[in-house]
Amino acid sequence: MFSILKPKTSVVKIPNEKIKETYNRFRIMALSSVFIGYLSYYLVRNNFTLSTPYLQHELQLTNTQIGFLSSCMLISYGISKGVMSSLADKANPKMYMALGLILCSIVNIGLGFSSLFWVFVGFVILNGIFQGMGVAPSFITIANWFPSSERGRVGSIWNISHNIGGGVVSPIIGGSLAVLGQDKWQISSFIIPAGISIGIAFLVIYLGKGSPSQEGLPELKDIIPEKMTANQKNEEHPPENMSAYQIFIKYVLKNKNAWYVAFVDVFVYMVRFGMLSWLPIYLLKEKDFTKNEMSIAFLFFEWAAIPSTLLAGYISDKLFKGRPMPLAIICMSLIFVCIIGYWQSESVHTVTIFASIVGCLIYVPQFLASVQTMEVVPKFAVGSAVGLRGFMSYILGATLGTSLFGFLVDKYGWHAGFYALMLGSILCIVFCILSHINLNTNEIYKKN
């Protein structure tokens, strides 16, 4: 690993009388860095989805080809997420996140000057690879700076970063198109979001923090004594001679709890991308929305999740006592009903409302699976566990929601695509139930 990415320990120790004050300030800075950093990753990811109507028109692409392009990025992202997240366990989180963001931005600048289908394929694959450097530093930072009793609420705050980032892409691109004109759609869609993201990458470096001990503070458990799960208690520190690969094998690959959570995410992502990736084309072609109406629906899909995710963090911590799966089951059941409403409704307002409700709810089980991941493995294996979940959710889940959905639409019509999303909702509920039962049977949630 490059030296600039390696974690560094401060030689200056914080005096005892300033530990609490410094800890509170540093953890706010740490959370802020991963919040704005991950937000910016979505500026240079969701911009591709908004560009698909232009791509389809300019390059004369079929739905299957659009689905193929989306899947190329998602598959490369899934593979990268598995590899890059494991490497993040050994890296300085702020430098790792910032580097990935800068590389994604450079790729987007390349997309802004491209006009050939296979060139787009190459660039979206590269974008997917570098996108894999964003999520693990976020979870590692939260696990380093916040005790288990706060992770539901803190995780919900972090989780809305991608809703804000994904939602704000639309007005950024729309405003740019209004100024530059429709013929400059590549500059508006790719280059302007890339420029913004490069600026944010340097802010991540300025605000970001390593672990408390690397910043001259005591370890988190000494600052805030916390009750730990059985897994966390048994393995507080990794054996010094274990590589990232060995940590992954022992604490993640052989951990069935991590697999259950991964499959919850697989079907959440199937539904999420089946809705999100096809929303622009579906609303413009099948529901006869104008581009402005489509942009509003897209924005509502992303931003409707913000209040629900924040509320979900509180409910998970307080009402369900840190057990995330019951709330995830409730949300997926409601999503099943709303998919039918989105699909069958004809009114612009009704379709937008159902899309907003799905957007409001779909990120809740995704967020709850993230919280669950931090509880079923030791802190030093969080990146590896995130890698497994990310690999499965993108390689399998997102591909089902993009390539399979596009194939079904081309072959059998839109009805077949929505039947697939309804089946994905049911399977997600099944794995939520399995995860909940297995975790409680193995007393993961029993405190000391």
Q: What is the DSSP letter of 9?
A: -
Residues 128 and 133: their CA atoms lie apart, in Å, by 9
Tens-binned pLDDT, residue by residue, of the chain (448 aa): 566 777 777 767 888 888 889 999 999 999 999 999 999 999 999 888 888 888 888 778 777 788 788 778 878 887 887 788 778 877 888 999 999 999 999 999 999 888 788 888 999 999 999 998 998 899 889 888 888 777 778 888 888 887 788 878 888 998 998 899 888 888 999 999 999 999 999 999 999 998 888 888 888 878 776 655 444 454 455 556 677 777 778 888 888 788 888 899 999 999 988 887 787 778 887 777 777 777 777 777 767 777 887 788 778 777 777 678 888 999 999 999 999 998 888 777 888 888 888 888 888 888 888 777 777 777 777 777 777 887 888 788 878 888 888 889 888 888 899 999 999 999 999 988 888 787 665 544 344 3
- Amino acid code (one letter) for 365: P
Strand runs labelled E in 34-154 = none
Task: Assign residue 112 the CATH number of its domain.
Answer: 1.20.1250.20
Residue 153: name the closest of 314, 366, 363, 321 by CA.
314
Residue 287 lies in a domain: yes
Residue 232 lies in a domain: no
Ramachandran angles phi, psi of 209, nearest 5°: -135, 155
Ramachandran angles phi, psi of 445, nearest 5°: -90, -5
Query: How far is CA 68 from its chain centroid?
Result: 21
Residues 336 and 262: their CA atoms lie apart, in Å, by 20
Give the 3-state secondary structure of residue 116: coil
Structure tokens at 187: 């500059």
Residue 145 lies in a domain: yes
Answer positive or negative: Cα dihedral of 366, 367, 369, 374: positive
Residue 447 lies in a domain: no
Residue 187 neighbours by CB under 8 Å, 6+ apart: 112, 176, 180
Strand runs labelled E in 292-352 = none
Residue 274 lies in a domain: yes
Residue 218 lies in a domain: no
- Amino acid code (one letter) for 262: A
Question: What pLDDT score does 95 carry?
Answer: 92
CA distances from 123 to 45, 55, 128 (A): 12, 14, 9
Written as one string, the DSSP assignment of 225-282 is: -----HHHHHTSS--TT--HHHHHIIIIIT-HHHHHHHHHHHHHHHHHHHHHTTHHHH
Question: What pLDDT score does 105 carry?
Answer: 96
Residue 233 lies in a domain: no
Parent domain of 171: 16-213+243-441
Tally of domains within the chain: 1
Are 96 and 383 in contact by the 8 Å Cβ rule? The answer is: no
Residue 136: name the closest of 28, 5, 232, 2 by CA.
5
Residues 317 and 306: their CA atoms lie apart, in Å, by 17
Residue 396 neighbours by CB under 8 Å, 6+ apart: 78, 266, 270
* Interval 140-198: pLDDT, tens: 898 888 887 777 788 888 888 877 888 788 889 989 988 998 888 889 999 999 999 99
Give the 3-state secondary structure of residue 300: helix
Residue 230 lies in a domain: no
How would you label 330-364 residue by residue, b for 16+ Cβ within 10 Å and e otherwise? bbbebbbebbeebbebeebeebbbbbbbbbbbbbb
Answer positive or negative: Cα dihedral of 160, 163, 169, 170: negative
Q: What is the DSSP letter of 13?
A: P
